[in-house]
Structure 1
Amino acid sequence: MPLAEIPLSAWRTRGQSFVFRGQAIRYWVAGQGEPLLLIHGFPSASWDWHYLWQPLAQRNRVIACDMLGFGDSAKPLDHTYCLLEQADLHQALLEHLRVHGKVHVLAHDYGDSVAQELLARHYEGRFKMASCVFLNGGLFPETHRVALAQKLLLSPVGWMVGRAFGRNTLADTFRQIFGPDTRPSESALDDFWSLIANNDGQRILHKLIAYIPQRRQQRERWVTAMRRGELPLRVIDGEVDPISGAHMVERYRELVPDADTVLLSNIGHYPQIEAPVQVLKHYLAFRERITQASTQLTCT
Structure 2
Amino acid sequence: MPLAEIPLSVWRTRGQSFLFRGQTIRYWVAGQGEPLLLIHGFPTASWDWHYLWQPLTQRYRVIACDMLGFGDSSKPQDHDYRLLEQADLQQALLEHLRVEQAVHVLAHDYGDSVAQELLARHYEGTFAMASCVFLNGGLFPETHRKLLVQKLLLSPLGWLVGRMFSREHLVKSFTKIFGPDTRPSESELDDFWSLIETNQGPRIIHRLINYIPERIVQRDRWLAAMRRGDVPMRVIDGAVDPISGAHMVERYRELIPNADTVLLQGIGHYPQTEAPALVLEHYLGFRAALDVQNRVLAYS
TM-score normalised according to structure 2 size? 1.00
Q: How is 1:94-133 mapped onto 2 (pairs within 5 angstroms)? A: 94-133=94-133
Q: What residue number does 2:52 align with?
A: 52
The DSSP-based 3-state class of the residue aligned with 1:176 is: helix
The DSSP-based 3-state class of the residue aligned with 2:28 is: strand
Mapped to 2, the partners of 1:65 and 1:266 lie a distance apart of: 29
Give the counterpart letter for 2:191 in structure 1.
D
The DSSP-based 3-state class of the residue aligned with 1:89 is: helix
Q: Could you list the runs of 5+ residues in structure 2 that have no partner in the other structure?
A: none
Deviation at 1:164, TM superposition (A): 0.2
Mapped to 2, the partners of 1:213 and 1:142 lie a distance apart of: 11
Q: What residue number does 1:165 align with?
A: 165
Give the counterpart letter for 2:105 in structure 1.
V
Q: What residue number does 1:32 align with?
A: 32
Confirm whether residue 7 of structure 1 aligns to residue 7 of structure 2. yes
Give the counterpart letter for 1:115 in structure 2.
A
Mapped to 2, the partners of 1:273 and 1:23 lie a distance apart of: 29
Q: What residue number does 1:271 align with?
A: 271
Mapped to 1, the partners of 2:153 and 2:205 lie a distance apart of: 7
The one-character-per-residue Cα deviations of 1:253-273 (angstroms, maximum 9, x if unpaired) are 000000000000000000000
The DSSP-based 3-state class of the residue aligned with 2:132 is: strand
The DSSP-based 3-state class of the residue aligned with 1:242 is: coil
Deviation at 1:78, TM superposition (A): 1.1
Q: What residue number does 2:76 align with?
A: 76
Mapped to 2, the partners of 1:69 and 1:214 lie a distance apart of: 16
Q: What residue number does 1:297 align with?
A: 297
The one-character-per-residue Cα deviations of 1:8-50 (angstroms, maximum 9, x if unpaired) are 0000000000000000000000000000000000000000000
Deviation at 1:174, TM superposition (A): 0.2
The DSSP-based 3-state class of the residue aligned with 1:29 is: strand
Superposition RMSD in Å: 0.3
Mapped to 1, the partners of 2:14 and 2:295 lie a distance apart of: 35
Mapped to 2, the partners of 1:13 and 1:27 lie a distance apart of: 11
Mapped to 2, the partners of 1:85 and 1:18 lie a distance apart of: 16
The one-character-per-residue Cα deviations of 1:258-294 (angstroms, maximum 9, x if unpaired) are 0000000000000000000000000000000010000
The DSSP-based 3-state class of the residue aligned with 2:230 is: coil
Q: What residue number does 2:203 align with?
A: 203
Mapped to 2, the partners of 1:79 and 1:295 lie a distance apart of: 46
Mapped to 1, the partners of 2:165 and 2:157 lie a distance apart of: 12
Mapped to 1, the partners of 2:180 and 2:190 lie a distance apart of: 19
Q: How is 1:187-202 mapped onto 2 (pairs within 5 angstroms)? A: 187-202=187-202
Q: How is 1:109-258 mapped onto 2 (pairs within 5 angstroms)? A: 109-258=109-258
TM-score normalised according to structure 1 size? 1.00
Q: What residue number does 2:43 align with?
A: 43
Deviation at 1:130, TM superposition (A): 0.2
Deviation at 1:299, TM superposition (A): 1.3
Mapped to 1, the partners of 2:77 and 2:172 lie a distance apart of: 26
Deviation at 1:93, TM superposition (A): 0.1
Give the counterpart letter for 1:197 in structure 2.
E
Q: What residue number does 1:92 align with?
A: 92
Percentage of pairs with the same residue: 77
The one-character-per-residue Cα deviations of 1:100-134 (angstroms, maximum 9, x if unpaired) are 11000000000000000000000000000000000
Between the two proteins, the alignment pairs up a number of residues equal to 300
Give the counterpart letter for 1:253 in structure 2.
R
Mapped to 2, the partners of 1:135 and 1:147 lie a distance apart of: 18
Mapped to 1, the partners of 2:163 and 2:230 lie a distance apart of: 44
Deviation at 1:53, TM superposition (A): 0.2
Mapped to 1, the partners of 2:78 and 2:275 lie a distance apart of: 37
Q: Could you list the runs of 5+ residues in structure 1 that have no partner in the other structure?
A: none
